[in-house]
Structures are given as structure tokens and as C-alpha cells.
Amino acid sequence: MVDQLTLQTIGILLTGLTVSIAAIYYTLTLRYTRRNQELALKAQEQALETRQAQMFLQMLNRWRDEVQGLDVWPVISNKLENAEDYLEKNQSDDDFRRVVSAFIGFYEGLGVIVKEGYLSIRLVALMWAGMTRTFWENILEDTVDDLRVHFGLPRFLSETEYVCRELMKYIEEHPELKT
């Protein structure tokens, strides 16, 4: 017959075995959950990269549409001294007005997209660094503050300025992209 001590020993062994099984189950469950979270994070990162690529291609297409048929370099390669130069050229030179309007329309949208993190400034640097830098330094850098006062619009070209300044910072941090 089975005595009392043997029953107690079996009870203790079963309890220990049950606790061990529960601990192993808990550990495996945690590992499985962590792995699923890592997979979900990777899927989110891939989705973000895909969205950024789609956004980049949309902006590239918009860029092509905006500047199609425009003779851009003669306009943006001539440095303006002040807001008066800008206003005079905008009134008297149709090419200037069309090119600058196309650039502003593009960069205002691009600035919002970059500011909100939908598109990396790195992609802007890889695609539009030279054009952006030339436009900023020759057309807007010395005029934008006075134009804001002139038009009474404190946020006039704010997103364009944002993306241009962010690009200049990025290029300084990555000299291999210097234009």
C-alpha cells in the first residue's frame, strides 16, 4: 500500500512539475509575443518605406509637371538682391513668374511632407539638392522676410523656407552631397 509520505512526495513532485511547466509555458508565450511584435514592427517599417517611396514618386511626377516646358536655370541662376528685385521681376518677367510660381508650389507641398515626416530630407537631398540650393540662395534667401512684410503674411513661403533650410543643414552634415 501507498503510505502517507509517498502521497505527499508525489503531491510535491506534481506541484513542482506543474509550476515548472507553467514557467516554461509563460517563457515560450513571452518569446512568441516578442517575436510577433518584432515582425509587426518590421512590417510597419516596410510599409513606411513603401509609403515614402510612393510619396517620393508622386513628388517627382509633380516636379516634372511643374517645370515641364519652363526654362528654369536662366531664372534661378540670377541672384536677387532684395524683395524689390523679386517684386519687379515678378511683375515684368513672365518666365520669372512662371518658374518661381512653379517652384513655390512644389516646395510648399514638399516642405509640409518633409516637416510631417512623410518623406525623408535625404531623398530631397539626393534628388533636388542643386536645384533647391540654387533657388533658395538666389531667389528667396535674401527676399523672403521682406516679402512677408510686404504681403502682410508672416507664414508666406514658410514651408519652402523650412525644406530649403533643412536641406542646407543635411548637406552640411553630409558633405558627400554638397552641390
Q: What does pTM read for this prediction? A: 0.74
SS3 call for 18: helix
Span 71-82, average pLDDT: 94
Residue 55 confidence (pLDDT): 83
Residue 149 confidence (pLDDT): 97
- Residue 13: which pLDDT band, with cuts at 50, 70 and 90? confident
Cell of 143: 527676399
Q: Are 76 and 135 in contact (CB under 8 A)?
A: yes
How far is Cα 171 from Cα 179, in angstroms, rounded to an integer? 8
Bigger pLDDT: 52 vs 162? 162
How far is Cα 171 from Cα 119, in angstroms, rounded to an integer? 16
- pLDDT tens-digit series, residues 118-156: 899 999 999 999 999 999 999 999 999 999 999 999 999
Strand spans (E) along 4-79 = none
Q: Among 96, 102, 131, 127, which Cα is nearest to 114's?
A: 127
Residue 98 confidence (pLDDT): 95
Bigger pLDDT: 158 vs 26? 158
Residue 1 has pLDDT above 70, yes or no: no
- Residue 2: which pLDDT band, with cuts at 50, 70 and 90? low
